[in-house]
């Protein structure tokens, strides 16, 4: 089984959509590792703040099959295929890492370039996969986060209980 990390983001109905997306992912992939949740400003367009987190999961699906499955979950939450990249969205699910694969074809971008570009992607990923090596950078994710220029990309922690309910802490990473 492949170890995969998927980012989850929402700025439209964010609380309900993230809760529902996590339930969908659990239903399809079983146990998930959940990062802390962070609130961040929209980047590239004016809009409500996003909630962002990363989940770790295991799957037998290949990267293309997983991408198709995630797109179906997005669609169930009201996202359409023609949603612009920089626009409000009810749900955004992106494969960040799929084992140590490097793929740049057919719309797949692994490892996802956003890992090294955005605090709202790297921080929660480093929180749950800090010892994982970035396949292209050759550095651990925690090291990439430590050296990341955090100016201009403020993140505010959102307690899991506020977003997911009191039982959410059971899936949080332990330090």
Domain boundaries, the chain: 2-170
The whole-number pLDDT of residue 170 equals 40
Q: Over the stretch 2-50, which tens digit does the pLDDT of each residue have?
A: 999 999 999 999 999 999 999 999 999 999 999 999 999 998 888 899 9
What are the catalytic residues? 79, 89, 92, 94
CA angle 126, 128, 89 (to 5 degrees): 80
Question: Considering only 9-18, 117-126, 156-165, which range has the smallest mean pLDDT?
Answer: 156-165
Domain 2-170 bears CATH identifier 3.30.70.560? yes
Q: Which residues pair with 131 in a beta bridge?
A: none
How buried is 109 (Cβ within 10 angstroms: 0-12 exposed, 13-18 middle, 19+ buried)?
middle
């Amino acid at each position: 089984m492949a170890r995969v990390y998927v980012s989850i983001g929402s700025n439209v109905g964010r609380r309900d959509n993230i809760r529902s997306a996590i339930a969908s992912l659990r239903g399809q992939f079983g146990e998930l590792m959940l990062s802390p949740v962070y609130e961040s400003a929209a980047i590239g367009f004016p809009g409500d703040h996003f909630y962002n987190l990363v989940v770790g999961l295991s799957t037998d699906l290949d990267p293309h099959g997983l991408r198709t499955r995630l797109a179906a979950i997005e669609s169930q939450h009201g996202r359409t295929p023609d949603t612009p990249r920089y626009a409000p969205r009810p749900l955004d699910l992106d494969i960040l890492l799929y084992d140590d694969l490097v793929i740049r074809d057919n719309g797949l971008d692994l490892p996802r370039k956003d890992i090294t570009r955005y605090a709202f992607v790297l921080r929660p990923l480093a929180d749950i996969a800090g010892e994982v090596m970035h396949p292209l950078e050759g550095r651990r994710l925690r090291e990439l986060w430590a050296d990341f220029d955090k100016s201009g990309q403020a993140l505010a922690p959102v307690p899991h209980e506020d977003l997911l309910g009191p039982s959410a802490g059971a899936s949080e990473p332990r330090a």
